Structure 1
Amino acid sequence: MKNLSRLFFAMLLLLSFNANAQDENNPWAVGIGVNAVDFYPTGEDAPLGEYFDEFFNLSDHYNFLPSLSTVSVSRYLSDGFTLTAAGSINEIDSFGDSTVDDLSYYALDGTVKYSFAKLINSKLIDPYLGLGGGYTWINEIGAGTLNGTAGFNLWFSENVGLTVQTSYKHAFEDYLATHFQHSVGLAIKFGGKDTDGDGIYDKDDACPDVPGLEAFNGCPDSDNDGIEDSKDDCPNEAGLAEFNGCPDTDGDGVADKDDNCPTVAGLKALAGCPDADGDGVADKDDKCPNEAGPAANNGCPWPDTDGDGVLDKDDKCPNEAGTVANNGCPEVLPTAEVMETLNNYARTILFDTGKSSFKKETDPVLQAMTAIFKEYPQANFSIEGHTDSVGSKSSNQLLSERRANAVRDYLIANGINADRLTAAGFGEANPIDSNSTASGRKNNRRVEVKLKK
């Protein structure tokens, strides 16, 4: 028995860890622990007791070996089933209520177990039942047994736990008594499935079918730029994190894949291309790369042939200097002679006495004035009304304003732009003749036209 204990202890040193199979991710198991053999509560005759009688009477009925005495190897099958092969040794000095000389005990057993962990949805407590058989020797005389097993694993972590188990071993030969064997041991699960062979078990591998890196939960980084392929916009070309793994060869802040000029530093606004003259047209598209110009003219400045400050594209008279207000064409303003003609007409406008309505014979005069206004579409004019001194100043002021506006309204109604005309009344304030005579007062009752600069 002493030599058998030493052999068993050597086996334990070789199996210095334990794993208990739970599922396909941890298919292999090796277990070590201690066991106790109890012949008493098995329903046999004295000195044994009834079934389960004094089942927990450790001090009177349990047989212990003061060393590690159980080892097992398990393999997960499927759907919660596990096949376990176990070996155990012990020393028998108690047979029920009787004592016996130290008898050697050793057994080899095979068991199919079913785990209820998934059924109860627990990762902490893993109860199981098992059925199997084996062969047990006492003092080198052996017999076959039919074994029923119940137990549980209590997991301290994902792989390490405590195993507590009880087996009822029914003997097929009279010279071996039926008995219970209890065991307690350390459990460690191991041997997970690794489909892609990258050293990371499938259960922890985000990319189980492709070899990858532990840092990326088993997913690959093909270009070794520190960015896993699934998040890398350029998985086969080393790049920068700020560009989701794509390179920026010219260092202009635009990734090469988006850079129209990847080898020359440029501007983000121009898709990574330079703009030497700063006109918003990339040099590669700029026909005048060193001279600012609009995109509409391919980056070249618009010409101003006549030098009037109006670009040829906007100049209606590109070969003749003009003004901006007149779209690059020279402004044609009425001469002094024309203005004199206008005023000669204006002074002959006849109004009904004390009113701003025109007399009928004035119509040709107004038509002639309208024709002159139309000849100078760029010129602006003011229409001024004046009266003599007959009557009150306030009434004269009002009458002069109404008459000036009446002339303006006529011109507008006949095609003259309203923006070109203003009207004002001055009453009797600006006489051009004496108000003491009838002819003088007639001269003072007048409409004048002035050119606005």
Structure 2
Amino acid sequence: MKHLNKLLVAVMMVMGLSSHAQDGNNPWAISFGVNAVDTKTSAGGGHNWLDKHFSQPFAVKDNWNILPSVSYLSVSRFIGDNFSFGLSGSVNKIDKYVKFDPTAVGHDSRGYVVSNPGDLMYYGIDATIKYSLMNLINSKVIDPSLSVGGGYTFFGDSSYGTLNPGAGLTLWFTEAIGLELATKYKKSFGDREDASGTPDAPSHFQHSAGLVFKFGGKDTDGDGIYDKDDACPEVAGLKQFNGCPDTDGDGIQDSADACPEVAGLAALNGCPDADGDGIADGNDACPDVFGLAALKGCPDADGDGVADKDDKCPTVAGPKENAGCPWPDTDGDGVLDKDDACPEVKGTVANNGCPEITEEQVMKLNTYVKTILFNSGKSTFKEETYPVLQNIVAILKEYPTAKFMIEGHTDSDGSNAMNQTLSENRAAAVKNYLIENGIAADRLRSTGFGETKPIGTNKTAKGKAKNRRVEVKLIKE
């Protein structure tokens, strides 16, 4: 039992080793299970070295010493490039010791005798460097390995060092749990026995079978992805996103998702599109109605370029300037009100929607103005003239864009200067009356010609009456 204490102390020391920088997902491994000790390899005999060591490799019942309980414990650490280093401890009881003695009673057909040396206790402490072939064969389940190491064996009352080449096979049930099968040839230095034939330091095979658990990988966020492989080590995430989250579950990781809390489409950087018009709801002015990109996702039923929500006539095409409604033509003259200088009076296209005065109307005006009567030698009107002036006003209002020149004329009585002034004043009097009665001032001009443009003779009273007149002429621009 004193050797068992040594074993336990060694194992505890190994388990207490501190971890350095991690080179694998789970750099540490612990395994435990059953071991078997086969002493036939040191028995001698056989035709050659291979026959001596491997003639009865699976004679479990005849040659193997097995303690029916957990009898080995191993702790190892991954050190990089498929290599790991471990320490193990094992315990057994030797009740089958194989010797080659063809003269002994009870030997088998090959001359081997199996004896009980007195239930010798067996303890082993071993250090092993193992090389895994799992990556070489590109497998995640089957893990063959080769190993080499050395150890110290306590065999009854004797103890000795060994050189331990070996091989193993681990079948991984999960990434961290597996079944480990291993064997190693523990070559002692001397293969000696004492004088009585009791084994002293035999070489032997030691086989083991047990469970192995890998551990030590750091997973801060607990998402099953180790920090060294986790692009978001402090936030639980998904394996397909290297450990980064997809909060809304739309298949787009949060870091690339413009709307990480609402499921959306990859084409819209993870944002939703409720109406399916290809415009993310956050940028869609009409998110619940299929619309056009040019109108920020809003529909345009009449196709006039004005969104229905802003269109006062959504079913009839019209310009944006008129809130989506067609321009009216109130007077029906073919000129839209927006372009019609006289939107309530029917006119002509050539005159911007305003009526054009005819020669007949001009003649009618002159007929009226000929009946304008002034007080003698003055520019004031006689009372009976006012109805005539109102008729003139009415005609001018029918043609709101027409412009007129009002001319004053006199006969030859009196001086030229006096006649000139009188003609100008009378023409101005007519102009002022028209302005005072609603005719725009910029439509009217006035001038006087005195006695210079007679239309009758100044030698007769009838002729002079013709020369004392006011005329209206259309100004053509």
For normalisation by structure 2, the TM-score amounts to 0.51
The whole-number CA distance in structure 2 between the counterparts of 1:77 and 1:138 is: 32
What residue number does 1:375 align with? none
Q: Of 188, 211, 214, which residue of structure 2 is paired with 1:171?
A: 188
What residue number does 2:72 align with? 70
Q: What is the deviation of 1:143?
A: 2.2
The yes-or-no answer on 1:182 pairing with 2:184 is no
Q: What is the deviation of 1:88?
A: 0.9
Q: What is the deviation of 1:103?
A: 1.0
Note the 1:337-376 alignment, pairs <5 A. Answer: none
- Kept after mapping to 1: 8 A contact 2:35/2:90: yes
What residue number does 2:235 align with? 211
Q: Cα–Cα, structure 1 residues 61 and 205, in superposed 2: closer, same or farther, change >3 Å?
A: same
The yes-or-no answer on 1:306 pairing with 2:331 is yes
What residue number does 2:89 align with? 87
Q: What is the deviation of 1:34?
A: 1.0
- Bigger drift between 69-78 and 24-33 goes to 24-33
- Kept after mapping to 1: 8 A contact 2:317/2:326: yes
Q: Of 138, 142, 149, which residue of structure 1 is paired with 2:159?
A: 142
What residue number does 2:63 align with? 61
Note the 1:102-181 alignment, pairs <5 A. Answer: 102-139=119-156, 141-172=158-189, 174=192, 175-181=200-206
Q: What is the deviation of 1:30?
A: 1.3
Q: Which amino acid aligns with 1:142?
A: S
- Kept after mapping to 2: 8 A contact 1:231/1:244: no
SS in 2 for 1:302: coil
Q: What is the deviation of 1:314?
A: 9.8
- Kept after mapping to 2: 8 A contact 1:41/1:54: no
The whole-number CA distance in structure 2 between the counterparts of 1:273 and 1:158 is: 54
The whole-number CA distance in structure 2 between the counterparts of 1:176 and 1:139 is: 10
The yes-or-no answer on 1:31 pairing with 2:31 is yes
The yes-or-no answer on 1:255 pairing with 2:280 is yes
CA distances 1:249-303 after superposition (whole Å, capped 9, x unpaired): 99999634322478xx7663332458899965237866x6899662353524312
What residue number does 1:402 align with? none
SS in 2 for 1:50: helix
- Kept after mapping to 2: 8 A contact 1:90/1:106: yes
- Kept after mapping to 2: 8 A contact 1:285/1:298: no
The whole-number CA distance in structure 2 between the counterparts of 1:205 and 1:295 is: 60
Q: Which amino acid aligns with 1:87?
A: G
The whole-number CA distance in structure 2 between the counterparts of 1:68 and 1:148 is: 23
What residue number does 1:346 align with? none
Q: Cα–Cα, structure 1 residues 248 and 152, in superposed 2: closer, same or farther, change >3 Å?
A: closer
The whole-number CA distance in structure 2 between the counterparts of 1:164 and 1:261 is: 68
Q: Cα–Cα, structure 1 residues 3 and 145, in superposed 2: closer, same or farther, change >3 Å?
A: closer
CA distances 1:373-396 after superposition (whole Å, capped 9, x unpaired): xxxxxxxxxxxxxxxxxxxxxxxx
Gaps of 5+ in 2: 16-22, 99-112, 193-199, 356-477
- Kept after mapping to 1: 8 A contact 2:258/2:269: no
Identity %: 47
The whole-number CA distance in structure 2 between the counterparts of 1:241 and 1:320 is: 59
Q: What is the deviation of 1:147?
A: 1.0
What residue number does 1:366 align with? none
For normalisation by structure 1, the TM-score amounts to 0.54
Q: Cα–Cα, structure 1 residues 268 and 86, in superposed 2: closer, same or farther, change >3 Å?
A: same
Q: Cα–Cα, structure 1 residues 309 and 203, in superposed 2: closer, same or farther, change >3 Å?
A: same
What residue number does 1:201 align with? 225
Q: Which amino acid aligns with 1:57?
A: A
Note the 1:424-439 alignment, pairs <5 A. Answer: none
SS in 2 for 1:281: coil
- Kept after mapping to 1: 8 A contact 2:142/2:169: yes
Q: Cα–Cα, structure 1 residues 248 and 151, in superposed 2: closer, same or farther, change >3 Å?
A: closer
- Kept after mapping to 1: 8 A contact 2:327/2:336: yes
Q: Cα–Cα, structure 1 residues 29 and 307, in superposed 2: closer, same or farther, change >3 Å?
A: same
The whole-number CA distance in structure 2 between the counterparts of 1:143 and 1:56 is: 26
The whole-number CA distance in structure 1 between the counterparts of 2:211 and 2:250 is: 40
- Kept after mapping to 2: 8 A contact 1:219/1:228: no
Q: Cα–Cα, structure 1 residues 279 and 206, in superposed 2: closer, same or farther, change >3 Å?
A: farther
- Kept after mapping to 2: 8 A contact 1:145/1:170: yes
The whole-number CA distance in structure 2 between the counterparts of 1:54 and 1:277 is: 96
The whole-number CA distance in structure 2 between the counterparts of 1:80 and 1:210 is: 28
Q: What is the deviation of 1:121?
A: 2.5
Q: What is the deviation of 1:44?
A: 4.4
Q: What is the deviation of 1:93?
A: 0.9
What residue number does 2:318 align with? 294
Q: What is the deviation of 1:2?
A: 12
- Kept after mapping to 2: 8 A contact 1:35/1:183: yes
The whole-number CA distance in structure 1 between the counterparts of 2:230 and 2:29 is: 25
Q: Which amino acid aligns with 1:149?
A: G
CA distances 1:294-351 after superposition (whole Å, capped 9, x unpaired): 2353524312143256746899x9864689xxxx999xxxxxxxxxxxxxxxxxxxxx
SS in 2 for 1:41: helix
The whole-number CA distance in structure 1 between the counterparts of 2:224 and 2:329 is: 74
Q: Which amino acid aligns with 2:72?
A: T
Q: What is the deviation of 1:166?
A: 1.2
Q: Which amino acid aligns with 1:282?
A: A
The whole-number CA distance in structure 2 between the counterparts of 1:277 and 1:232 is: 41
The whole-number CA distance in structure 1 between the counterparts of 2:92 and 2:315 is: 100
